[in-house]
């Protein structure tokens, strides 16, 4: 788990104050230009903090992991939700994929993008049972079938890992699989 920088959230009150002070200044005046310059510098600072955090995270992931798995999220559709839009924009979801793509190539790791319709959050990582409904406020995944209780995001990460590498373990294989493996080996 990585904590996001939340640069906009931290500097939002300062930005609001600068914009409030600038509202009655005469457009085009020297004081208006100075205030606009302060607002622009603050916006630039927020963007730089966000960019720095994304670059550090994507470099860490690309350098230290052989395979990185992400979901192909519909970010523009998520931005339509007025309750989540500010938080999603503050994290830079849309920009996260681009540097991760070129850095995985640069450092020799693999980037796997899972389909956006894959139910990673709704599927139990232990038994594979799929929940029909799972609200965003439910932060703990409770499986009704096997009784697993796990953090929702960790459950989704395990499911994405399984989706990226569909390897069958010896415990899950049946007799026909063993016969086919023996035949291929000989």
Beta bridge partners of 141: 150
CA distance 127 to 145: 8
- pTM for this model (two decimals): 0.71
- Rounded to whole angstroms, the Cα distance separating 68 from 166 reads 15
Q: Which residues pair with 155 in a beta bridge?
A: none
Q: Does 170 have pLDDT greater than 60?
A: no
**What does the mean pLDDT of the chain come to?**
84
Cα(163)–Cα(113) distance, integer angstroms: 10
* Structure letter (DSSP) for residue 74: -
Query: pLDDT by residue (tens digit) across 21-73?
Result: 999 999 999 999 999 999 999 999 999 999 999 999 999 999 999 999 988 88
What is the per-residue pLDDT for 146? 86
Per residue in 2-14, pLDDT tens?
777 888 889 999 9
User: What are the sequence ranges of the domains in the chain?
Assistant: 1-117, 121-186
Is the model's pLDDT at 174 over the cut of 50?
no
């Amino acid at each position: 788990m990585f904590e996001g920088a939340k640069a906009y959230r931290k500097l939002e009150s300062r930005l609001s104050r600068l914009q409030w002070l600038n509202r009655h200044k005469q457009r085009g005046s020297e004081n208006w230009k100075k205030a606009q310059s302060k607002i622009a510098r603050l916006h630039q600072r927020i963007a730089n903090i966000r960019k720095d955090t994304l670059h550090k995270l994507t470099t860490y992931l690309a350098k230290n992991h052989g395979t990185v798995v992400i979901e192909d999220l519909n970010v523009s559709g998520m931005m339509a939700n007025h309750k989540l839009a500010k938080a999603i924009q503050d994290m830079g979801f849309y920009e996260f994929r681009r540097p991760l793509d070129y850095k995985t190539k640069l450092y020799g790791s693999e980037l796997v993008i899972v389909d956006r319709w894959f139910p990673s959050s709704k599927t139990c990582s232990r038994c594979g049972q799929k929940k029909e409904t799972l609200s965003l406020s439910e932060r703990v995944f409770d499986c009704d079938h096997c009784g697993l209780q796990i953090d929702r995001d960790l459950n989704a990460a395990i499911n994405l890992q399984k989706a990226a590498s569909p390897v069958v373990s010896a415990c899950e294989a049946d007799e026909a699989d063993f016969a086919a493996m023996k035949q291929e080996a000989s």
